[in-house]
Copies of this chain bind each other. A is one copy, B any other.
Amino acid sequence: MDMMTHALELASAAAQAGEVPVGAVITDSYGAIVATAQNRMRRDNNALAHAELLVINAALQVTGQSRLVDCDLWVTLEPCAMCAGAISHVRLRRLYFAAYDQKGGAVDHGPCLFHQPTTHHKIEIYGGIQQSASEQLLTIFFGNQRGVVES
């Protein structure tokens, strides 16, 4: 199975648990899975429990390294500023994401963090992979959760 499909399955599981459907996978330089995560903001009662931050922390623990050089992140939604900053700190090699986030995204929208002159981390970015599948999950979720949207 390709990694974005795996991330979408995690997003779908998040939705079933009442979480904003975002899933994430980190792979090593051989393409093997290092760690997976899904949004847990409600379960953890923590507004910082985004899939990307969780999967990065899990991957750091698994590898025993302080950074994730040569690892890649697959995530079903364009990362926010917090998560894009975290991606930069651990020096991930490639970022693959599915849906674009015009409101909260910080990669291709808002501050476009990796294009800031002060950015010290070069990363390959591939957006829009299985975009419509992720958008569908998000649309269904927010359609069912009107008025309780987390940002």
Contacts and interface: CB of A to CB of B under 8 A. Distances in A.
Contacts of A66: 41-42, 45-47
B118 A110 contact: yes
A80 B85 contact: yes
Nearest to A151: B120
B82 A89 contact: yes
Contact of A47 (B64, B89, B103): B89
Interface of A: 41-42, 45-48, 53, 56-57, 60, 64-67, 80-86, 88-91, 102-104, 106, 109-113, 116-120, 151
For this chain, the copies found in one complex come to 2
A41 B65 CA distance: 11
Q: Determine which residue in A48, A64, A90, A116 has the highest number of CB atoms from chain B within 10 A of its CB, and name it.
A: A48
Contact of A106 (B85, B104, B151): B85
A47 B90 contact: yes
Nearest to A121: B151
A79 to B, nearest CB: 9
